[in-house]
Amino acid sequence: MKRSRTGIALLFIGFLVVGFLALLITVAHFTESDEDTTSVAEILGAEKIGIVPIEGTISSADDILKQLRKFRKRSSIKAILLRINSPGGAVAPAQEIYREIERTKAKKPVVASMETVGASAAYYVASNADRVVCSAGTITGSIGVIMFMAEIHKAINKIGVDVNVIKAGKYKDIGSGVRPMSEEERKLLETFAKQIHEQFIKDVAQARKGKIDEDKLRSVCDGSFFTGEKAKELGLVDSLGNFYDAVEVAAKLAGIKGDPKLVYPEKKWGGLVDLLSGSLARLAQGLSDKVRVAPPSLWIY
């Protein structure tokens, strides 16, 4: 009898714990409804704008591509806003994002909102949006290509270390730094950089067609960076404003009346402990501000 009562008590406690967890998740769900993609407002068909953050060095396109595709397929998401705070990044990921933006624009408006910096590859990505919005002091432009290759052969020689390079292909160890770079190799790399630069210019020219003349664009494609104010004067951006000004632009393009609901990417939980701590924090403090990490130096674009 005692064992039976103990079992019932444990079962009852288990139900209470499960119920408490369910309550926490439900309350947290509604508390952060502005960032959730499956809220009651969505079920009722409220009009929304999907927010896609692009922060720091662009070294991979995977998460951004997935989010663009996800928001593009959701009927309740009427427009997408790229929130950019990046100094640039690698060539191929930026080109992948640019291409996905092109596909997305055929379905719904895409607006770019640049914060502290939206330069180089980040500007390349932003340029393909239907509208580009930034602050007067936003650092942007920097349409150019750069590659860093350290020459370490002098240090190697000084410490008396030999480096044996076994290769198949004349240029396979180009830029390794373990030997001086030949003039022929330098010209090869410069040609490569110029080809990428030309791709950059042509894509921006296509994206900004009718907003900036290609000859005028080429005149500023020397790696120079500009304030947002100067960029607007040149035709590199469409208007000056903050994040919520960009939201208004997106809402207008999408024909949304009233205040749109902003939908952020779903947060990834590391486990039950993270779920509980996150839920309790949101219950106590509401929505918290995103922690931003200062963007690193320019990489390739």
Domain count, the chain: 1
Q: List pLDDT tens digits, range 19-36.
A: 665 555 554 444 444 444
Residue 219 within any structural domain of the chain: no
pLDDT at 286 over 60: no
**Domain assignment of residue 196, given as a range:** 146-212
- Residue 236: phi and psi, rounded to 5, are -80, -25
pLDDT at 7: 60
Q: Which of 94-108, 227-241, 276-290 has the lowest mean pLDDT?
A: 276-290
Average pLDDT, the chain: 83
pLDDT at 23: 59
Residue 177's pLDDT band, with cuts at 50, 70 and 90, is confident
Residue 183 to residue 156: CA distance in whole angstroms: 21
Q: How many other C-beta atoms can be found within 10 angstroms of the C-beta atom of residue 52?
A: 24
Residue 11 within any structural domain of the chain: no
Q: List pLDDT tens digits, range 115-162.
A: 999 999 999 999 999 999 999 999 999 999 998 888 888 888 889 888
Residue 250 to residue 273: CA distance in whole angstroms: 37
pLDDT at 153: 85
Residue 206 within any structural domain of the chain: yes
Residue 104 within any structural domain of the chain: no
Antiparallel, parallel or unpaired: β 239-240 and 139-141: unpaired
Residue 282 within any structural domain of the chain: no
Q: Is 172 a catalytic residue?
A: yes
pLDDT at 291: 36
Residue 12 to residue 190: CA distance in whole angstroms: 72
Residues of the chain above pLDDT 90, percent: 63
Residue 129 within any structural domain of the chain: no
Residue 200 to residue 187: CA distance in whole angstroms: 20
pLDDT at 156: 85
> Which residue out of 66, 172, 216, 290 is catalytically annotated?
172
pLDDT at 211: 97
Residue 84's pLDDT band, with cuts at 50, 70 and 90, is very high
Q: Is 66 a catalytic residue?
A: no
pLDDT at 293 over 60: no
Residue 173 within any structural domain of the chain: yes
| Interval 269-286 mean pLDDT | 53
pLDDT at 32: 40
> Which residue out of 39, 86, 113, 120 is catalytically annotated?
120
Q: Which has more pLDDT, 11 or 111?
A: 111
Give the range with max mean pLDDT: 212-226, 257-271, 283-297. Answer: 212-226
pLDDT at 237 over 70: yes
| Interval 37-45 mean pLDDT | 48
Residue 177 within any structural domain of the chain: yes
Q: How far is CA 94 from CA 142, 208, 272, in A?
A: 14, 16, 35
